[in-house]
Amino acid sequence: MRVLVTGGAGFVGSQVVEALVARGHEPVVLDALLPSAHPEPPPPRPGEHRVVADVRDRGAVDAALRGVDAVSHQAAMVGLGKDFADAAHYVACNDLGTAVLLAAMAAAGVGRLVLAGSMVVYGEGRYECRAHGVVRPGPRAVTDLDAGRFEPHCPDCGAELRPGLVGEDAPADPRNVYAATKLAQEHLAASWARATGGRAVSLRYHNVYGPGMPRDTPYAGVASFFRSALARGEAPTVYEDGGQRRDFVHVRDIAAANVRALEAMADRETDGPGRGTAREAGTLTAYNTGSGAPHTVGEMARVLAEAYGGPAPVVTGEYRLGDVRHVTASSRRIAEELGWRAEVEFAPGMREFAREGMRAGAGPGTVRRA
């Protein structure tokens, strides 16, 4: 299978390329290789054909799609960013870029897409109230955050809530610009699938970490922030009280999920309905893609610092308004339908991440997947 990987020189994309080659597929990489993301452009990997261009360049995308069977769309501007001034960059990179890609795929007759989705589309995760069952708390009040009251409460009775695992059928509730663009990408992909009869899968990544993460950038995940601080000889800075629950999933597992989804779509077309195959043509199917083992942000910082041999984390009590308290996934659907499960466990994965190097970071306007 010949697969176009957008953002294929980036953190996740490069791992997808390696996984494709290992399975005997032929990757074509489309990456802008912006100096802010790649001060020293990495050489093409064995078995990789590379096109240096922006995913918003329709002519370059048309050329890159020639002879392609499927697309793994990893190119994006990621992370919470610095402030709302970044909104135009996020929308241009993520949503316009996706629209250009999908239009080119429709014209070229390429009918299989795996989208790098994100758990941020859910907002807060799943919560239960002892009296009212499953509830969805609204955004946390600034007065509560200022007072150090970080846990959401039942919107009906104000009682404490128990966090659980969110499923793919939970309502979307994006609470920052990045989250809004990731949900828009899914809507665009679903519209493309309906219009063309294509098959689309959105892998809703949870907190991806691992070797090759970008360092010293506000456009990355919490694992990158902590590892960057340790590399500078500084203590990781933990917001709130460190009790935020997340699902940390290794980048190699994410790459394997991409390949499995691509192969499942091909299986569906050749073998018809069956176990381990993707769903019907003309639809988008979302899959939570996490480890299935929640950990707190404070725990992750502590384990990473101990493995690195650096300063212990500092819990500041500060907060970012666009953050949510708890969001962890049920990855049951992807296990049952595609046969994918994360293999890298939390502690050994963090130890590896502490040992391995990071790449130079990126600034505003970067088009990449991290």
* DSSP for 42-67, written as a single string: PPPPTT-EEEE--TT-HHHHHHHTTT
Give the residue numbers marked as catalytic.
Answer: 178
Lowest mean pLDDT among 16-30, 175-189, 260-274: 260-274
Radius of gyration of the chain (CA): 20
Tokens linked to 220: 């990355």
**Residue 368: pLDDT above 50?**
no
Residue 270 pLDDT > 80, yes or no?
no
Q: Which tens digit of pLDDT belongs to each residue from 184-212? A: 999 999 999 999 999 999 999 999 999 98
Mean pLDDT of the chain: 91
Which segments of the chain does DSSP mark as H helices, in order? 11-22, 58-64, 87-90, 97-108, 142-146, 177-196, 222-231, 251-271, 297-308, 332-338, 346-355
pLDDT digits (tens, 9 = 90+) for 271-321: 654 444 456 789 999 999 999 999 999 999 999 999 999 999 999 999 988
Tokens of 34: 């912006």
Domain ranges for the chain, please list them.
Answer: 2-126+164-354
* Predicted pLDDT of residue 271: 63
Question: Where residue 219 falls among pLDDT bands split at 50, 70, 90?
Answer: low
CATH of domain 2-126+164-354: 3.40.50.720
pLDDT recorded at residue 276: 42
Give 125's pLDDT tier (boundaries 50, 70, 90).
Answer: very high
Give the per-residue pLDDT at 218: 66
